[in-house]
Chains A and B, each alone.
Chain A
Amino acid sequence: DAGITQSPRHKVTETGTPVTLRCHQTENHRYMYWYRQDPGHGLRLIHYSYGVKDTDKGEVSDGYSVSRSKTEDFLLTLESATSSQTSVYFCATGGGTQNIQYFGAGTRLSVL
């Protein structure tokens, strides 16, 4: 978890409300990633960023948007939360030729 801070760590929200999760890194890594983790599905990539203002979709991007205005910050937004977005969200940094990734501690999100 060193060098990567996710906030909040826990959040409960209602269906239809917007939610923003924040990831902050001190490692100066170029690449940042957002994953969701659900039982039976492992980790699935939502979106990733390869630089400031450079982002791309992962395999489960519907209903999510991201922004990266600074190297150290990567935001994940659920524009209108749904119960299917109840999950644990992980931010990771990495990249390079081997792409070893470093993970934050996660955010547990419950959408009621």
Chain B
Amino acid sequence: SQQGEEDPQALSIQEGENATMNCSYKTSINNLQWYRQNSGRGLVHLILIRSNEREKHSGRLRVTLDTSKKSSSLLITASRAADTASYFCATLPGEGAQKLVFGQGTRLTINP
């Protein structure tokens, strides 16, 4: 079963705007990760946030984690056409676990 549920399933915005994607999960986690997938390619790791962290930044990416609500959000600021891709959250359920559980993804389209 899918641990992560992402919202929205698809998002279309204008270049320069900010994009926000959300991920909810069901069980306790060790960490939560976000991946990007360009069309026809494999997934690429973007950012990881540990269960004891609330916010993390990497370049134009900002990730928040609310363990009380079992949810996370990924914010991409000042979007570019090259950000067009699918974005997946993945959870690592528990310390020592070696299997990530992926959500179904959000398809992001940046319009020029």
User: Which among A43, A58, A95, A104 has the highest number of chain B CB atoms within 10 Å?
Assistant: A43
Residues 70-112 of A, flagged 1 when their CB comes within 8 A of B and 0 if not, give: 0000000000000000000010101101111111111000000
B41 touches A99 (CB 8 A): no
B43 touches A103 (CB 8 A): yes
Residues 59-103 of B, flagged 1 when their CB comes within 8 A of A and 0 if not, give: 000000000000000000000000000001010100101111111
A99 contact from B4, B97, B102, B104, Cβ within 8 A: B97
- Which residues of chain B come closer than 8 Å to A35, judged between CB atoms? 102
- Which residues of chain B come closer than 8 Å to A33, judged between CB atoms? 99
B45 touches A99 (CB 8 A): no
A42 touches B42 (CB 8 A): no
- Cβ-based interface call for A19 (8 A): no
- Cβ-based interface call for B48 (8 A): yes
A39 (CB) vs chain B CBs: closest residue = B104
Chain A interface, number of residues (Cβ within 8 angstroms): 29
B48 touches A31 (CB 8 A): no
A99 touches B92 (CB 8 A): yes
- Which residues of chain B come closer than 8 Å to A102, judged between CB atoms? 45
A50 touches B45 (CB 8 A): no
- Which residues of chain B come closer than 8 Å to A58, judged between CB atoms? 99
B99 touches A106 (CB 8 A): no
- Cβ-based interface call for B111 (8 A): no
A95 (CB) vs chain B CBs: closest residue = B98
Taking the closest CB of chain B, its distance from the CB of A23, in whole angstroms, is: 11
Binding site for B on A (CB under 8 A): 1, 4, 31, 33, 35, 40-45, 48, 50, 58-59, 90, 92, 94-95, 97-106
Binding site for A on B (CB under 8 A): 1-2, 4, 31, 33, 40-45, 48, 88, 90, 92, 95, 97-105
Would you list 10 pairs from A and B whose C-beta atoms are within 8 A, ordered by A residue?
Answer: A31-B98, A40-B104, A41-B2, A48-B98, A58-B99, A92-B42, A94-B100, A98-B31, A101-B100, A106-B41
* 5 interchain residue pairs of minimum CB distance: A103-B42, A42-B104, A43-B102, A103-B43, A42-B102
